[in-house]
């Protein structure tokens, strides 16, 4: 009787062999999720693939795609003496145009790390004289929790809680990438976490309108290898469909309850993405019914004029047009300890993953 480890090795060998057999021409696949980027590096997936199959990273890290303008606004709020900023930890070191939340915290700003948006409500309840602003950054995965926090604030009667929304929607970004055409993409490894919320339907345009296959994939090494196999198999056959490799977690219709909470509080809006620009209907704005919780509407603030960092190629990395090692700052002026661009900050950032796991392969 074979062990589970033996079965896994057999499956991995099968997928690896089939990929090599089917990849008779160069194939460029984009993993959209930052968690996939890290999983691919940690499992050594690239080393298992033939040279004909190239994996590139896309705009799948929410911290990375948040533009300088949002950071500049958050910094401006942090400089107000009556404001407490509540944020996830990876936002602290993201550089804005001239400062960061970490720098402002060092100067005395009241900036607190939370592990859930709901933690912000406890801060607001304990400090009624302060205005507590939660930095609502993330994709469809985390946005429902932020929406539920707004509803909880309303139920609790909190009048000093606000959100600064930078929530983004993944499918419109994929459409923008394919429409722009700067990065050749033959297939997409689609994010399992996001898909658990939105389901399969929002991705169908990839195959139907652009003839590009997509596979919703899990995060275990075998998940990724199978997803690559399914993509290469379609490409070799000249087909383009949407497949769901992660069916054990992602039902076809996603999570309707989470989307209902999301739709109650937020509505689609045009949004700015770092490196891509403004994408129509790709962000989430607070609906009028909950506008009193929307920081820009309730607490207008003037931020500095936004500017990008010279030499940083984070935008090209997010578009899949360049590899991190092609940026002149990578590993030199820009490191995880002293990041110049947002792609080097988050653990899911492409540059951070290349730096941590790609030693010796930066020029590959």
- Both tokens of 306, joined, read 């936004």
Q: What pLDDT is recorded for position 1?
A: 60
Q: What pLDDT is recorded for position 182?
A: 77
The DSSP letter of residue 294 is: B
Residue 31 phi, psi dihedral angles, 5° rounding: -90, 125
Region for residue 325 given its phi and psi (left: phi exceeds 0; alpha: psi -120 to 50; beta: otherwise)? alpha
Q: Please list the alpha-helical segments (H only) found in the chain.
A: 4-22, 34-43, 45-48, 62-65, 68-78, 101-106, 119-126, 143-156, 170-180, 192-198, 205-210, 221-237, 256-265, 295-298, 314-318, 350-357
Q: How many CA atoms lie within 13 A of 231 on its CB side?
A: 28
Q: What pLDDT is recorded for position 2?
A: 67
d(CA 14, CA 226): 9
CATH T-level assignment (fold) for domain 63-169+254-298: Rossmann fold (3.40.50)
- Least Cα distance to 188 among 202, 207, 172, 209 occurs for 207
d(CA 277, CA 5): 45
Rg (CA), the chain: 21
d(CA 168, CA 128): 30
Region for residue 269 given its phi and psi (left: phi exceeds 0; alpha: psi -120 to 50; beta: otherwise)? beta
List pLDDT tens digits, range 169-214.
999 999 999 999 877 899 999 999 999 999 999 999 999 999 999 9
Report mean pLDDT in 10-residue bins for the chain, 364 residues.
80 94 96 92 93 93 93 97 96 93 97 96 97 97 97 97 97 95 91 97 97 97 97 97 97 97 98 94 97 97 88 92 91 92 91 80 46
Q: Kindly list the domain boundaries of the chain, sorted by start residue.
A: 63-169+254-298
List pLDDT tens digits, range 210-263.
999 999 999 999 999 999 999 999 999 999 999 999 999 999 999 999 999 999
Q: What pLDDT is recorded for position 73?
A: 97
What is this structure's pTM? 0.93
């Amino acid at each position: 009787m074979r062990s589970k480890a033996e079965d896994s090795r057999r499956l991995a060998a099968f997928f690896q062999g089939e990929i090599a057999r089917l990849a008779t021409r160069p194939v460029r696949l984009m993993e959209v999720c930052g968690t996939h980027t890290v999983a691919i590096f940690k499992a050594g997936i690239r080393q298992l693939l033939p040279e004909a199959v190239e994996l590139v990273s896309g705009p799948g890290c929410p911290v990375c795609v948040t533009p300088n303008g949002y950071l500049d606004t958050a910094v401006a709020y942090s400089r107000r003496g009556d404001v407490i900023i509540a944020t996830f930890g990876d936002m602290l070191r993201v550089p804005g145009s001239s400062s960061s939340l970490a720098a402002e915290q060092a100067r005395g700003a009241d900036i607190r790390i939370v592990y859930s948006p709901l933690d912000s409500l406890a801060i607001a309840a304990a400090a009624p004289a302060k205005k507590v602003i939660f930095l609502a950054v993330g994709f469809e995965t985390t946005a429902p929790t932020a929406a539920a926090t707004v509803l909880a604030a309303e139920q609790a009667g909190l009048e000093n809680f606000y959100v600064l929304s930078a929530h983004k929607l993944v499918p419109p970004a994929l459409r923008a990438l394919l429409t722009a055409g700067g990065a050749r993409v033959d297939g997409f490894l689609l994010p399992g976490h996001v898909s658990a919320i939105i389901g399969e339907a929002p991705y169908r345009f990839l195959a139907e309108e652009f003839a590009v296959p997509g596979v919703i994939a899990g995060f275990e090494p075998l998940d990724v290898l199978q997803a690559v196999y399914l993509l290469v198999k379609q490409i070799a056959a000249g087909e383009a469909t949407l497949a769901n490799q992660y069916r054990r977690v992602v039902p076809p219709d996603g999570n309707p309850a989470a989307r209902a909470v999301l739709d109650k509080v937020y509505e689609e809006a045009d949004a700015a993405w770092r490196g891509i620009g403004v994408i129509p209907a790709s962000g989430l704005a607070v609906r009028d019914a909950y506008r009193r919780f929307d920081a820009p509407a309730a607490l207008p603030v003037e931020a500095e004029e936004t500017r990008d960092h010279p030499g940083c190629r984070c935008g090209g990395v997010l578009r899949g047009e360049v590899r991190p090692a092609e940026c002149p700052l990578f590993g030199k002026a820009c490191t995880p300890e002293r990041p110049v661009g947002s792609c080097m900050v988050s653990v899911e950032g492409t540059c951070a993953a290349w730096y941590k796991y790609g030693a010796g392969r930066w020029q590959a």
